[in-house]
Amino acid sequence: MTTESLAARRTAVQGLGVIGLGLAGLAAVYVLALDHTPVERFQGLPQKIFYVHVPAAWCALLAFSLVGIASALYLWLRDPRLDLFAESTAEAGLVFSVVMLTTGPLWGKPVWGTWWTWDARLTLTLMLFFLFLGYRALRGALQDPSERARFSAVVGLLGMVLVPFVHLSVYLFRTLHPQPIVLKPSSPSLPWEMLRTLLLSVGVYTVLLFGFVMTRYGLGRLDRAGGGDDAR
């Protein structure tokens, strides 16, 4: 095994360690959310979906921004590591998007009576999902590594710039989503027990994102070093 594939494998294994940590944290969040956090008065039990849904949305958006930034940097610096980072982060973002898109309707149905609403946030999350998917599909359809890196970087960058426009457009259009109640300049409207559960969950999800990206990056490096499975 070359030093390169050894180093790559080490990265992947370390990433797995981080993921393990994240999953343990996830279990803790589950216990905290289900057993030690008060039930919300007006929405009842389904409100607890909040603790698995919102962090997923946060991670998907974070992942997407990272892909956009890495794409821009790649187009400027042409460093293939940036391309691999973007590829890995996009995959993780896709995973979190799926979580978001499945938990969202499960929350919406009991609370608002409908599986789906075309409000600003849900529409944006659906769009992110399609952008991640398109990014992945394009990469899969291009053989030449330089072409693949450049083209998907253009998509990544354009996609990142698109996000605020869609948000603005849909927000102007209609909003049904609960108003932001966490990130207010004054004290948040969430009671402390709920806030701490949410923050812990966001932290855990972010750790998972980090672990996913790290592992996938290592696998990608391994693949490119010729030492591993097809991780594309």
Footprint on residues 78-107 left by another protein (CB under 8 A) = 95, 98-99, 102-103, 106-107
Q: CB of 59 within 8 A of CB of 91?
A: no
Residues 132, 162: Cα–Cα separation, whole Å = 13
* x/- letters, 38..57, toward another protein (CB under 8 A): -x-xxxxxx-xx--xx--x-
Smallest distance, Å, CB 229 to another protein?
Answer: 5
Judged by CB under 8 A, the residue of 15, 25, 68, 93 near another protein is 15
Q: Which is nearer to another protein, 20 or 180 (CB)?
A: 20
Site for another protein in 173-212 (CB under 8 A): 173, 208, 211-212
DSSP 48: G
* 100 Cβ neighbours under 8 A, 6+ residues apart: 53, 56, 57, 60, 125, 129
CA nearest neighbour of 68 among 91, 92, 90: 90
Q: Which is nearer to another protein, 16 or 195 (CB)?
A: 16
When asked if residue 31 is in the footprint of another protein (CB under 8 A), the reply is: no
